[in-house]
Amino acid sequence: MCGRYTVITPASGLAKRFNTKEVVAPAPNYNAAPSQALPIITNVVPSQIQLVPWGLVPSWSRDPAGGPKPINARAETLAEKPSFRQLLARRRCLVLADSFYEWQATERGKIPHRILLKSEEPFAFAGLWDEWVDRASGEVHPTFTIITTEPNELMAKLHNRMPVILPGPDAEHAWLADDLSAAQHQQLLVPYDTNLMREYAITTRVNSPAHNDAEVLAAA
């Protein structure tokens, strides 16, 4: 799964990397957690970075406050679940990040690790988004979830799942493209190249989302 990540690249750097014309300016986030508003790019407005809460609330939800808000969706079963199947066809997004965290189960307890690209450049998780409309106020509430897949060799040592990292601009453009089929989109949802990633153990400071500063990145 993917339950915590970072977005510490400045807004100008995100705009350059993802070729966006309009930019919001999120503060550096060293410990991005579910429910927080985080930067994504949707297939509907691919030129704009938007801040959207993490944790999917489907458009048909009757109880957004009390219902489930999945933060992850399994790549292998997207086409089997009606809600995700519709989003795969209509509402895909790039979830902007520059590293993520995973907890390795050991005899000494769960050890957090930071995983990033060897280049240390920002990247995009493949995501799905939806929007729920408050019938009382008419207010629109977009939300998103991150797609996960089988782990690559590096991640298999830490966990049995990993987020789908799209391998560069061509794959990112393809993921957002509305003229591709669901099968073509699903072909993009594969483990990232192990040789382009690195990881290291960090302190348990990351365990609390309240700790949101550069000290979270320190090696254990």
Catalytic residues: 2, 102
Distance from first CA to last CA of the chain, Å, rounded? 22
Could you give the 3-state DSSP secondary structure of residue 117?
Answer: strand
Phi first, then psi, for residue 199 (nearest 5°) are -150, 160
CA distances from 140 to 88, 131, 177, 198 (A): 20, 6, 24, 39
Contact 119, 30 (CB under 8 A): no
The Cα 192–Cα 186 span in angstroms is 14
Residues contacting 216, CB < 8 A, separation 6+: 30, 31, 202, 203, 205, 206
**Are the beta carbons of 159 and 104 closer than 8 angstroms?**
yes
Contact 148, 164 (CB under 8 A): yes
Strand partners of residue 128: 92, 145
Distance CA 218, CA 220 (A): 6
